[in-house]
Amino acid sequence: MVSPDPVPYPIDHLPQRGQSAAPALIDKRGAISYAALEHAVGAMAGTLRAAGLAPGDRIASWLPKTRTACILPLAAPRVGLIHVPVNPALKRAQVAHILSDSGASALVTQKPRLAALEPGDVPESCAVLEEELAGAYIPPSNADPDDLAAILYTSGSTGRPKGVMLSHANLWLGAISVAHYLKLTPQDRVLGVLPLSFDYGQNQLFSSWAAGASVAPLDYLTPRDVVKAVDRFDITTIAGVPPLWVQLLEADWPDAVAGRLKRLTNSGGALTIRMVRDLRARFAGADLYPMYGLTEAFRSTYLDPALVDANPDSMGRAIPFAEILVLRPDGSRAAPGEAGELVHAGPLVAKGYWRDPERTAQRFRPAPVFAASDGMAVWSGDTVIEGADGLLRFVGRDDEMIKSAGNRISPQEVEEAVLGGDEAAEAAAFGIPDARLGQAILVVARANGDPGEAETALRQRLRRDLPGFMQPARYEWRDALPRNANGKLDRARLRAEVTQ
């Protein structure tokens, strides 16, 4: 663990980068300097105050990656508001739930999106504001770092989305931590392909700006759009999730464009060993940072790029400002090599779930007495193993483990084996009811080529690579696997489909 330094100022403050010529924001309209961005944040904050919004009010945004969408996360906390970003990929029922559940006093959106909503979706108490917000400049705030700055709603692939409460300190320390271990500099240009409503996506902005680097937000339709943006904006860094890397590895990358990338970061799902090797081969000049996180604590671990080739299955060690514990069910420390639940303590831990004390109590509890960090910790629900080398390895979510013939089987281990050859491009493994075994293994996959030929070759290979109790009983081949609003594989939807 790295002990946190005092928080010097709240999240709405932009570091002064007068010594750097790097723009803060780059898009199709041009570039914005840090000075211009600071002015835009203050002017937007002035408009929000003039609109009659009071400190503590929630202000929602439902926007693509416009300049307003990038600036509002800093402008809202500057006047004491709590920002509630809504993923632009969500549909009206999910948007209506977030507006109602958060008690939003205002919604910033565009007319076409507003037209997609039905009467009653926007509560009567929620004002609708124009996207372009520019008023009298307000300087950075002196808010308490523990004050709430944002509520980020989980993707809600099962049940209704729940709001995770984040303070100024949560967001600011997350930005400093990531900027530090990624070694971002003012010379870097980060391509913002992830949704800004996603903690990982929002941090693309904050960590870049903390380092004085440049961000180029991008709403893309095809992998080719990403390739073109890397070339057009001279991008050095891409943050992605596994399904995006699958798409980008299938895209045509001119060597000169691929060579521009100096840094690739992954979270939102573990990379397979094969994917690590493919990324290292395709982007040989780029450092690869496998990472693990959960919205309730932002980010927990990262693997140093120097260790990736020798440890492609590892999720690394704790990031700065995080303390990571591996605990047995009785709350004691797991021994090296023993599976246990990942528990995250320290100042990155969120403030719980918005207006949901019951679910907050289930996940957020006082840190163990032997922890170095005081305060609350979050129990992730994920099973990991810490090796003798201090590196953590992901086993799986406890509620996703497959129980077959008395064996506990990690879906990820099966998926890595399936993707270890050339038969399948993507795969997800599940346990399905079986009268004899309790659960049998079903693999839902997208084939490289003919599905029948792929399955024959795959079964033959896995008979060599996996023990009998880990052999998939059935394969279901699809042209595409579903994604959730954050671009991650929608495992919950798939599970519901295959276990009905």
What phi, psi does 333 have (nearest 5°)?
-70, 135
SS3 for 481?
coil
Residues of the chain with pLDDT under 50: 1-8, 17-19, 156-158
SS3 for 143?
coil
Q: Which amino acid is it at 136?
A: A
Q: Residue 3's pLDDT is what?
A: 39
- Burial label for 97, CB within 10 Å (0-12, 13-18, 19+), is middle
Q: Residue 366's pLDDT is what?
A: 97
DSSP states of 86-130: E-TT--HHHHHHHHHHHT-SEEEE-HHHHHTS-TTSS-TT-EEE-
Q: Residue 16's pLDDT is what?
A: 56
Query: Alpha-carbon distance 302 to 335, whole Å?
Result: 21
Q: Residue 447's pLDDT is what?
A: 95
Q: Residue 399's pLDDT is what?
A: 74
The pTM score is 0.85
E strand or H helix at 362, and its extent? helix 357-363
What tens digit of pLDDT does each residue of 221-269 get? 999 999 999 999 999 999 998 889 989 999 999 999 999 999 999 998 8
Q: Write down all domains in the chain, each with its CATH number in brackets.
A: 25-386 (3.40.50.12780), 401-499 (3.30.300.30)
Q: Which amino acid is it at 418?
A: V
What phi, psi does 302 have (nearest 5°)?
-145, 155
What tens digit of pLDDT does each residue of 58-92 get? 999 999 999 999 999 999 999 999 999 999 988 88
